[in-house]
Structure 1
């Protein structure tokens, strides 16, 4: 297309002019097209616009849906979904990047990657990887913290900075691993297992482990959706925190870990107490205990002061003499009372004995009476007094009890 302008050899245009011209040409030459592809690198910033890549097996193109249309269609956009996007080709002039600007979306179903991820997610769910009851609490005061991330990325720097400020007394053990690329899943899983092995060594227990990276697109986070990393997290004996740095999407690592943090910085903050807050809490506790002890001492002092006004403490010897005299009086009164009591009881016992003696059969014998029983029954419990001659027979031996002795006799004759 011809360009109107001067014909001199030294004619030139600026980059801005070039990009603007190209943008106008693209937008003027192409109508809106329906373009089929799979969503990747989805981003929904606070501005309300939606940014993503639309790809097929061979190529990809950057796409944007501005806020006005995103309010209607943006909610249906998810990573890995296949869509048909109505869009116009354009150029982002500021960076000279080719892009398409969409204004309508139709869903085609799910993409291959999303289908595989859904199948893996369902498999792990069936095995209990996501059960809430298996999740462990994060220790409030960790002595040793493990980090699984890139050794050179921003994530490890951010976490070390936060931990150094908040809880510098903790030991930090870094198990480095690539967090992006084909080798990332196996390296992350190996790093997790390495920290678990180290934690089994005596005096080397690791209290909590952070596994993550410093953000990225959904495609960049695919290592944290791999089965090998999921298995390593599930089998970890150390409580785990995922810090993948992607607010919109949950990775499998987020679902399996004991705690999910949006960013590595947040993870470091959530696993570490603030040393300054702890110091202030200890100061407040010490002040409270000091006040409580002072109040207790004050109460004891008041009680002692009250006791000191009592006569027993002001003149203890007089008090003891008074109590001793009262004790002697009590003993004397007891002796008098007990003597009278014993004498009364003794007289009553003597009266009872006299009455018993007057009623005794032996006492009756002194008045000329006697008791006769058969001799063979005399010493037995079945002895009976003979009151009739009919119970006797000639030759029976009799035992007659007098008041001063016993007579043994034989029956020679029985007269009616």
Structure 2
């Protein structure tokens, strides 16, 4: 006789947890195409929707830290491609897909997403010409954000070497296509601004560029995160993405668009041959200007030579001028002396008025008057206080106990000298004192009523 082992007993939570681990291990990363349905966006910022085809559907969760990178407006009925991992929501036992990336399905959908984001950013004012930052008049250092292996970088370097070899460039290498490209471009723009703020790199502007390609190849430059990084950049941004007929969201947000990478290099660098020609032209002008100036100064010197007079005549004029100045100085000195004497007399008169003896006499007189006033005031106050004291003494005599005692009444006091007001407060045998208008007697309580 054989016995069959009973299966392991599990709780619902344990079973769901095991099922979740199994699904996540078997489907770590999947890409699924389907139609959006029942899209829900709660205040948390997470998206919950159903992805379906003709015969099946699956629930999906697209969390906020991931769906912020979506650069189009998903709507129910839209065909999309999502990438994520298969999982299970333990609380309800629901099989679901945790989405990490979403994009429209097909080139037509990409074009629709491009137009939708373009219209949204244009309405937000991100393309306004008033917000465009001007380029520096003399560009010395460029931060280039592109692929280190792309033809765009080679074209730019070739043009700069030909036109202006002194131009300094710093490459911030990034991917220019693929799912990770947009994030790398965003971080490179932020890095360029940070380096410029820290003064470790004196960037004048950022050149964001790549060669031509299909709409899918150029799509990283149509991502919202790249547009936002350009819009928030403190450094001017020049966009040169694709060929002349290619336009990207980055082109519209950037401060300046160049048709191609080579055109951007020509736009940002002066032509050394033109500058050499300009220098030669200015050199010729400078030589001619110096010759004219020397000729003019030579003519002035000749005129001055003709105007030179006999030194003795000039000495006589100077001597006459000296005499005039001497007489003027003497008159001014005499006038000044008279003014000083008049002022001295005035000061002496003021000193007489302000002498200590005069001041002492004046203040002694004032002190005598104040003492007399004080004495009169004290006498008046003493008289008023004496009258008030007499009035109060009269009132006190009228209200005092002597008046009552003089009419034949007596006051009973206890041993502490307090007046007894109620018979009920007394005890038999208690010693008391009786006070009369004249004299006192000792009392003993026999009984009280």
Structure with higher helix content? 2
Larger relative contact order, structure 1 or 2 (CA cutoff 8 Å, min sep 6): 1
TM-score (norm 2): 0.45
